Amino acid sequence: MSNMKKYNVAIVGATGAVGQKILQYLEEKPFEIDELRLLSSKRSAGNVVSFAGKDVTVQEATADSFENIDIAFFSAGGSISEKLAPEAVKHGAIVVDNTSAFRMDEDVPLIVPEVNEDDLQHHKGIIANPNCSTIQMVVALKPIQETFGLKRVIVSTYQAVSGAGLAAQEELTNQTQQYLNGEEMEANVLPVGSDKKHYPIAFNALPQIDMFEENGFTKEELKMMNETKKIMHEPNLSIAATCVRLPVVNSHSESVFVELGQDGVSVDAFKDTISTGEGIVLEDDPSTQTYPTPLSAEEKKDVFVGRIRKDLDSDNGFHLWVVSDNLVKGAAWNTVQIATSLVKNNLV
């Protein structure tokens, strides 16, 4: 990289599922780091984490944690971002926020670099990383939008427990063990830690991710719908989502139905367009049973697409299956890509 300036970086939520992955991608040196400040709650303060061969002691995140920081990654939940991101900005840092706190604010760019990198130009200190399920879908939709136009999207998700944090991952492991031992499964975290009821996720499927809203959709579903319109600059797109949690550890899968802006597109033309999309790997061959799965996508940075079919009744309708690692492209890798783009374009 030509720009050899070194940056001071903070990670709020460094000990969490997403924070640990951000560390992993920063170790690949997308840009030069001078100081790295790892922040968490009181609980993990004092823990020692190794980064690029050096020990770094985790500190409690407070309003004063951001002195001299250039880039601050936030991944500790929405309420912590609401409280501390403005403090980081006051100290001159640029915030890349992984929570839903600021995503729909008009002043906050909501960025997937393959789709709308240019929206970074008018940032005011806070940049939002979209929801994991939104990110992988818009990467797949981008080449379709550009080549054929988009009229309507209907998506159903098959989401991994890792999206709900380390506690949810542990809950799946424990319940699986309990079930196999013939014991009663204990449920305390999913579908939503703070909601009234909890259901087992092991050997199950839960049609609730995040809280319900008055209109019957969950917040996760509404995030997918609203964030997609904002990122793709398609305020009038018809879009509906159903979000379901499965007993899968990592990687979200999505069954997506799209209606194109034109009729008569062939399957071959549609596949060609998908295969040229940035950040997309086409894995699609029924004759060899080739299609992406959560396990095949794990730890990879790309969005994988397969099962492309033309609808049998609607001449502008196509079906596709979209899989990506929700902690990688869905969270940590996308935030590191955003920071790298800020550095590259002298926006820090």
Tell me the catalytic residues: 132, 252
- Least distance in angstroms from the C-beta of 220 to ligand 12T: 5
The four Cα atoms 104, 301, 335, 132 give a dihedral, to 10 degrees, of 30
**Residue-wise burial string across 97-113, b where 16 or more C-beta atoms lie within 10 A, e elsewhere:** bbbbbbbeeeebbbbbb
Q: Quick one: what does residue 75 bind among ligand NAP, ligand 12T, none, with the CB cut-off 5 to 8 Å set by partner type?
A: ligand NAP
- Give the one entry of ligand 12T, ligand NAP, none that residue 223 binds, where binding means its C-beta sits below a cut-off of 5 to 8 angstroms depending on kind: ligand 12T
Which residue number is nearest to ligand NAP in terms of Cβ? 16
Could you tell me the two tokens for 200? 């087992």
Residue of 343, 345, 232 lying closest to 5 (CA atoms): 343
CA nearest neighbour of 142 among 105, 117, 106: 117
First to last CA, the chain: 15
3-state DSSP assignment of residue 138: helix
State the DSSP code for 102: S
Using CB under 6 A as the binding rule, the residues of this chain from 5 to 64 that contact ligand NAP are 12-19, 40-41, 43-44, 61
Shortest CB 135 distance to ligand NAP, Å: 7
Name the burial class of residue 255, with classes exposed (0-12), middle (13-18) and buried (19+) by CB atoms within 10 angstroms of its CB.
Answer: middle
Question: What binding mask, one character per residue, do residues 152-181 give for ligand NAP by CB under 6 A, x or -?
Answer: -----------x-xxx--------------
166 binds, among ligand 12T, ligand NAP, none (CB under 5 to 8 A by kind): ligand NAP
Q: Is 147 in the site for ligand NAP (CB under 6 A)?
A: no
Nearer to ligand NAP, 316 or 326 (CB): 326
Return the one option of ligand 12T, ligand NAP, none that residue 209 interacts with (CB less than 5 to 8 A, by type).
Answer: ligand 12T
- Among ligand 12T, ligand NAP, none, residue 65 binds (CB under 5-8 Å by kind): none
Phi and psi based region of residue 217 (left: phi greater than 0; alpha: psi -120 to 50; beta: remaining): beta
Residue 35 backbone class (left: φ over 0; alpha: ψ -120 to 50; beta: rest): beta
Contact between 209 and ligand 12T per CB under 6 A? yes
Angle between helix 17-26 and 333-344 (nearest 10): 40
Binding flag, residue 100, ligand 12T (CB under 6 A): yes
> What secondary structure letter does DSSP report for 97?
E
The answer to whether residue 75 forms part of the interface with ligand NAP (CB under 6 A) is yes
Q: Which of residues 152-181 bind ligand 12T (CB under 6 A)?
A: 159, 163-164
The answer to whether residue 132 forms part of the interface with ligand NAP (CB under 6 A) is: yes
Between strands 252-260 and 150-159, the pairing is: antiparallel
Does residue 131 belong to the site contacting ligand NAP (CB under 6 A)?
yes
| Residues touching ligand NAP, count (CB under 6 A) | 29
Per CB under 6 A, residues contacting ligand 12T are 99-100, 131-132, 159, 163-164, 209-210, 220, 223
Per CB under 6 A, residues contacting ligand NAP are 12-19, 40-41, 43-44, 61, 75-78, 80, 98-99, 129, 131-132, 163, 165-167, 330-331
